[in-house]
Amino acid sequence: MTSTRPSDRRSTRRPAPPARPPAAGARRAEPREADDVTRSDPHHGRRVRLGMPAMTAWKATLGSIVLFALLASGSLVKSARGQEEGWQRDVLLGTARGIDRVSNLLALNRPLDWANGLLDREDVEPAIEFPPVTVAPPSTPSTTLPRIVSATDPLRVGIYGDSQAKDLGRQLIQLAAGDPLMTWAEHGRVSTGLARPDYYNWPARLQELLATEDRDVIVFMTGSNDSQTLQDREGNAVAAVGTPEWEEEYRRRVAGLMDLVNNGRHRLVWVTVPLVGNSKLAPTMALINRIIRDQAATRSWVTVADAEPLLAGPNGEYVDYITPDGKAPARCRRSDHVHLTLACLDILAEHVLGAFRDAFPRADATTTTVPSASTTAPSNSEEADQPG
Amino acid sequence: MTFAVFFVVVLGISWRLQPRPVAWKLFLLGASYVFYGWWDARFLLLLAVSQVGNTIGGYAIARAPSEHARKWAVRLGVAGNLALLGFFKYYGFFVETLVSLLRPLGLAPTPLLIEIALPVGISFFTFCAISYLVDIGRGKVRPANVLDVSLFLAFFPHLVAGPIVRASEFLPQLRRPARADSVDATRAARLIGRGLVKKVIVANVIAQVLADPVFGSPGAYGNFDILAAIYGYAIQIYADFSGYTDIAIGAALLLGIKFPDNFDRPYTAVSLQDFWRRWHMTLSRWLRDYLYIPLGGNRGGERATYRNLVLTMVLGGLWHGASWTFVVWGTYHGAGLAAERWLERRHREDRPLTASPRLAALREQLGFGPPPPAVEERADGTVILEDPPLVPERTPSPWLARLWVFHFVAIGWVFFRSETLSGALTLLGRLFTAWHGPEVTTLAVGLAIAASLAAQYVPARVGLWAEWRVSHLPPVVQAIGFALVLLACNILGPQGVAPFIYFQF
C-alpha cells in the first residue's frame, strides 16, 4: 500500500469563496454533513479534507478488507458456511478457509477468539453423539405421572427452531399472555435446520438448552431451510437432496433429535413445515413432514402439531390465502411464500397450544384432561422466564 | 463480506475505466445488474423495461409538439410508472380490501386473491423515474440516452433503498466524472463505518433484544418494556435506515458519485415540519415537489393547505407499504403537520390557542376556567370587577419542543412497525394499563438507546473536524483504522444480522 505525505496530496475541493455574512439576528447554521469544512465554517479557517488518488483509495479499501478478513477469519468461515449451496458458496468457503489458515499461522485471529470467549460465543459448532436409536423405540417413556401445574409451579415451555419457530413462539407467547400457569422461553435462530450442523448444530444446542433450562414442553420447528445437501459438522457433504441417502440421513437426524428429548421429563411437540409456494422446495418439505410423522408415530413422548394440512387449501394444496371457518379470507403467507402471516400464525399457535396444554392437569382444574401418558415431576427451577 | 468483495472489484475496475465514459458507464450498469440479480434475478427484466420505457418517455416529453401534448406525455409516463408500482405493490392490498367490502354481499372475488412478489427497490427506482419525467416536463432536465437513464435508475448504491436521487443531481456527474486524483475517501470511510456501526450494532441489538419481541407479541409485555420498545424502535429504524443511507452515500462517493444527504439528526427537530426536513430528506422533498405542490400546496388557502398536507402524508405513508397501518401512520403525521401549521398561524396572528373563546368556554365548563375577576366593593356599595392580569404567552423551550416532537414521532412509529392496527392499538393500550416491570429491557439496551439519542446532539462540526484530522493520516493508517471498525462491528453486533428495514419498501 502506498502512502503519500500530506503535502504531496491535493485537496478534495478547491477553497470555497468566503461565506456570506449571516443576516442580522440570524443564528449561524450548523454545517450540514455534506458540506466541507471550509465552505460551511469559516471560523475554522482553511481546514480542508485531503483526498487521495483513486488507486490509493482502492488499495486502502482492499487492504482494510483483507486485514479484516484475517482478523475475523473464523467468522468469515462461519458466514461462508451459512451461504446457500452453489458455486458462490464453494468459492467463498474455499477462500475463507484459506484466509483462516493464514490467520491461524500468524495468530491474527487470537483477538477475535479472545473477544468471542468473553462474549461466550463460538465460531465452531459443538459436536454431539446421538443416543443409539433402538429398532423399536419404547412406546412410552418409563417415568412418572404428569405433574400438576400451578401458579407457583407453572408449565415451562421452550420454543426452539428456525425463523418460523421464532414467529410461532411470539404468537404462542401472545396467545397465552395472562395465563399465570405457563412460562415461556423462545430460542429460535434464523436460517437454521437439521441439514447444516456445520452452521448451527440444533441437536447439540438443544442438548445444552435442555441441560440449562428446565422445560416441561419442547416446541420444535425446523425444516424450511433443509432442502439442500446434508452436511456434517465439518461442512462435508453427506447426501444430496432428492436421493435415498438424503432421506435416510434426515430420518436419522430427526430420530436422533427426538430421542435426545426422551429422558422422561420432557414432552416434545414437533411442528411440521407448512406447505411452501415454491415448486423446487415443496417435494422436500413434504418428505420432511412425512419423516417427522413416521418417527413421531413410534415415540410416545412426541406429539406432532401438523401445520401442513392445517394451513393448506381445501384439497390439501398450497394457497396464499385461507378461509378460516366463518371468517373472511386471510393472507396466509408472506411474499416469500414460505413464512406465515400473523393471521396464520394465530391459527397455528392455537393448534400447537392445544397439542400440549390439556396434557398437564391444572391446579385450578378448569381445563384439565389427565392423559394416560406420563412426564415429569415438579421442578424447583427459579429461572427468569417470560410470563405467559 | 460478499458485498465487500463485489465492491472492491467494482471500485478498482470502475476507476480504471473512468477515462473511457461509455465503457465506464456500461461497466457500472453491468455491476448494478449483478447486484440486483443477486437479490432476485427474476425482476431484472422489469428493471430493464422501466429503464427503456422511461428513456423513451423522456424523449417523448422533450419533443412534444405543444405544451398540451407535453403535459399529456408527462401524465402518461407518470401513470405508466405508477401502474407498475401499483400492480406489484398494491394489488394484494386492493383485492383484500375489495373482498372484505364485497363479502357481506356474497360477491367476494376470492379467485383474485393471489400473492404478487414485490420486486426489491421498486418504490425507489419508480420515484426516481417519475422525478426524471416530471423534471423534463418542467424543463429542468434534458432527456438522456438509454445508457445514462439506465445507470441513473439502477446505480447499485441507491437502487434498493435510496436515497431518492434526482436526475439533475446524478446525470451531470456522468457527463463530468469526478477527478481521479482526489477521492474523498476519508469521508466515504467515515460514512460506511458509521453506517455499519448503526446497522450492525445499534439497530440489530435493539431489534433482537427488545423491539422484535415486544412488537411481535404486543399483548404479552408490561408497560415498562412497551415504553422501552417504543423508544427502542425509534432508534432502531433511524439507525437501520440512516445506517444504510450512510453506507450507500459512502460507497457512491468512493466510486466518484455524490448523493444528497438523507438524514440530519432528525430527533433534534423542534417541530414536525423540522422533523420532515431532517428525516428521509430525499423522500420529503420528492413528496413536496411532485405531490404536495402539484396538489396545490399552500396556494389555495388554509383549508386546502391542510387537506394537501394530510393527503401528501397519507400517500407518503402508503408508499412505505400496502397496509392500513401505513395509512394510519401517514394520516397521523399529516394531521400533526396540519395542526402544527394551524397553531403557528394562530400564533402569528396573535391569537394563541389559549385565547380561543371556545376553548375558554370549554375550560370554564370543565371547571378549569380563568381565575374569577377580582371583586372590589367600595364604600358606596358599587362593585367593581377587575379582569385578572393577562399572563404573557411564553415561547416554549426548544427542549420541550424536541421532547414533544420525539414522543409524537415515536408514537407514530408504533403504527409503522406493527403488523396490524389491532396490534398497534393493543400495544398503546397496554402502555397505560399493563403495569409491569422490565422483562426484556436490559441495562445495555437502555444505555444504547440513551447514547444513540445523545449522539443526535453531537454537533456536525465534531464529525467534520474528525474527518479533517483523519484525512491527514497516511492511507495505510486509515485502512487499519477502518479494518478495526469492521472488526468491532463483527464482535459487538449480534449473530445473524436482519435485512435492512427499508429493503421491503
CA gap A344, A143 in Å, rounded: 36
Q: Per the CB < 8 Å rule, is B486 touching A328?
A: no
Query: Which among B15, B184, B483 has CB closest to A58?
Result: B15
Q: Is A271 on the interface with B (CB under 8 A)?
A: no
* B70 to chain A, closest Cα gap in Å: 36
For residue A154, the number of C-alpha atoms closer than 13 Å in the C-beta half-sphere is 20
Burial of residue B67, with CB atoms counted within 10 A of its CB: 0-12 exposed, 13-18 middle, 19 or more buried: exposed
**Residue B79: phi, psi to the nearest 5?**
-65, -40
pLDDT band at A32 (very low <50, low <70, confident <90, very high): low
pLDDT band at B496 (very low <50, low <70, confident <90, very high): low
Query: Which among B219, B260, B476 has CB closest to A3?
Result: B476
Q: Per the CB < 8 Å rule, is A61 touching B8?
A: yes
Q: Is B109 on the interface with A (CB under 8 A)?
A: no
Res B29: pLDDT: 94
Interface of B with A in 242-281 (CB under 8 A): 254, 256, 258, 260-261, 264
DSSP secondary structure string for all residues of B25-75: HHHHHHHHHHHHHHHHGGGHHHHHHHHHHHHHHHHHHHT-SSHHHHHHHHH
Res B357: pLDDT: 67
Q: Per the CB < 8 Å rule, is B460 touching A33?
A: yes
Model pLDDT for residues A368-381, shown as the tens digit of each residue = 433 333 333 333 33
Query: Which among B99, B220, B491 has CB closest to A173?
Result: B220
Model pLDDT for residues B98-123, shown as the tens digit of each residue = 777 777 777 767 666 776 677 878 88
The catalytic residues of B are 320
Model pLDDT for residues B256-293, shown as the tens digit of each residue = 999 999 999 999 999 999 999 999 999 999 999 999 99
Residues B6-28, mean pLDDT to the nearest whole number: 92
Q: Per the CB < 8 Å rule, is A51 touching B184?
A: yes
Maximum mean pLDDT: which of A174-178, B112-116, B364-368, B412-416: B412-416
* B50 to chain A, closest Cα gap in Å: 22
Tell whether ipTM is more than 0.85: no
A277 pLDDT more than 90: no
Q: Per the CB < 8 Å rule, is B472 touching A58?
A: no
Cβ–Cβ < 8 Å for A162, A387? no
A160 pLDDT more than 90: yes
Select from A13, A14, A52 the residue whose CB has the most chain B CBs within 10 Å, as the one to mutate to test that interface.
Answer: A52
Res A219: pLDDT: 95
Q: Is A16 on the interface with B (CB under 8 A)?
A: no
Residue B429, Cα to own-chain centre: how many angstroms?
A: 26
Res B13: pLDDT: 94
A292 pLDDT more than 80: yes
DSSP secondary structure string for all residues of B411-438: HHHHHHH-SSHHHHHHHHHHHHH-----
* B120 to chain A, closest Cα gap in Å: 11
A5 pLDDT more than 50: no
- The answer to which of A75-79, B219-223, B337-341, B375-379 has the lowest mean pLDDT is B375-379
Cβ–Cβ < 8 Å for B37, A88? no
CA gap A217, A17 in Å, rounded: 72
Cβ–Cβ < 8 Å for B101, B141? no
Res B415: pLDDT: 93
Grid-cell match 435493539, residue found:
B206
Interface of A with B in 95-114 (CB under 8 A): 111-112
> What grid cell was written down for B318?
402508503
Helix, strand, coil fractions of chain A, as percent rounded to 5:
35, 10, 50
pLDDT band at A131 (very low <50, low <70, confident <90, very high): low
Res B10: pLDDT: 93
With both helix axes pointing from N to C terminus, report the angle between B324-348 and B398-417 in degrees, rounded to the nearest 10.
160
**DSSP letter, residue B338:** H
* B436 to chain A, closest Cα gap in Å: 11
pLDDT band at B433 (very low <50, low <70, confident <90, very high): confident
Containing B120, the helix (H) or strand (E) segment is none
Burial of residue A305, with CB atoms counted within 10 A of its CB: 0-12 exposed, 13-18 middle, 19 or more buried: buried
pTM for the predicted model, two decimal places: 0.76
Report the residue count for chain A: 388
- The answer to which of A260-274, A308-322, B26-40, B100-114 has the lowest mean pLDDT is B100-114
Residues near A169 by beta carbon (within 8 Å), at least 6 away in sequence: A159, A184, A186, A188, A219
Interface of A with B in 147-206 (CB under 8 A): 167, 170-171, 173-174, 177-178, 186, 189-191
Model pLDDT for residues A105-123, shown as the tens digit of each residue = 998 888 888 888 887 776 6
pLDDT band at B73 (very low <50, low <70, confident <90, very high): very high
Cβ–Cβ < 8 Å for A295, A268? no
B423 closest CA partner among B222, B285, B216, B266:
B216
CA gap B161, B120 in Å, rounded: 8
Cβ–Cβ < 8 Å for B109, B98? yes
Q: Per the CB < 8 Å rule, is A57 touching B475?
A: yes
Helix/strand/coil for A148 = coil
Q: What is the share, in percent, of chain B residues with pLDDT greater than 70?
A: 87
Res A158: pLDDT: 92
B18 pLDDT more than 50: yes
Q: Per the CB < 8 Å rule, is B487 touching A112?
A: yes
Query: Which among B11, B420, B468 has CB closest to A61?
Result: B11
pLDDT band at B17 (very low <50, low <70, confident <90, very high): very high
Containing A66, the helix (H) or strand (E) segment is helix A54-71
Q: Per the CB < 8 Å rule, is B464 touching A177?
A: no
Residues B323-340, mean pLDDT to the nearest whole number: 92
Q: Higher-confidence residue: A137 or B127?
A: B127
Q: Higher-confidence residue: A302 or A383?
A: A302
* A289 to chain B, closest Cα gap in Å: 24
CA gap B430, B218 in Å, rounded: 8
Q: Higher-confidence residue: B383 or B246?
A: B246
Query: Which among A55, A171, A387 has CB closest to B439?
Result: A387
What are the chain A neighbours of B11 within 8 Å (beta carbons)? Answer: 57-58, 61
Res B392: pLDDT: 46
Q: Per the CB < 8 Å rule, is B115 touching A337?
A: yes
Q: Higher-confidence residue: B28 or A145?
A: B28
A25 pLDDT more than 70: no
CA gap B87, B85 in Å, rounded: 6
Residues near B96 by beta carbon (within 8 Å), at least 6 away in sequence: A329, A331, B113
Q: Per the CB < 8 Å rule, is A30 touching B183?
A: no
Q: What is the share, in percent, of chain A residues with pLDDT greater than 90?
A: 25
With both helix axes pointing from N to C terminus, report the angle between B146-154 and B167-175 in degrees, rounded to the nearest 10.
120
Model pLDDT for residues A92-107, shown as the tens digit of each residue = 888 888 999 999 999 8
Res A89: pLDDT: 78
CA gap B134, B137 in Å, rounded: 5
> What grid cell was written down for A288?
420432511
* A132 to chain B, closest Cα gap in Å: 33
Q: Higher-confidence residue: B335 or A38?
A: B335
CA gap A159, A186 in Å, rounded: 5
Buried b (16+ CB within 10 A) or exposed e, B366-389: eeeeeeeeeeeeeeeeeeeeeeee
Residues B41-61, mean pLDDT to the nearest whole number: 90
Residues A325-333, mean pLDDT to the nearest whole number: 78
Query: Which among B180, B419, B486 has CB closest to A53?
Result: B180
**DSSP letter, residue A362:** B
**Residue A246: phi, psi to the nearest 5?**
-60, -50
A139 pLDDT more than 80: no
Q: Is A337 on the interface with B (CB under 8 A)?
A: yes
pLDDT band at B197 (very low <50, low <70, confident <90, very high): very high
- What mean pLDDT, rounded, does chain B reach? 85
Res B302: pLDDT: 86
Res A38: pLDDT: 38
Q: Greatest CA span in chain B, whole angstroms?
A: 102
Q: Per the CB < 8 Å rule, is B185 touching A65?
A: no
Beta-strand pair A217-221/A155-161: parallel
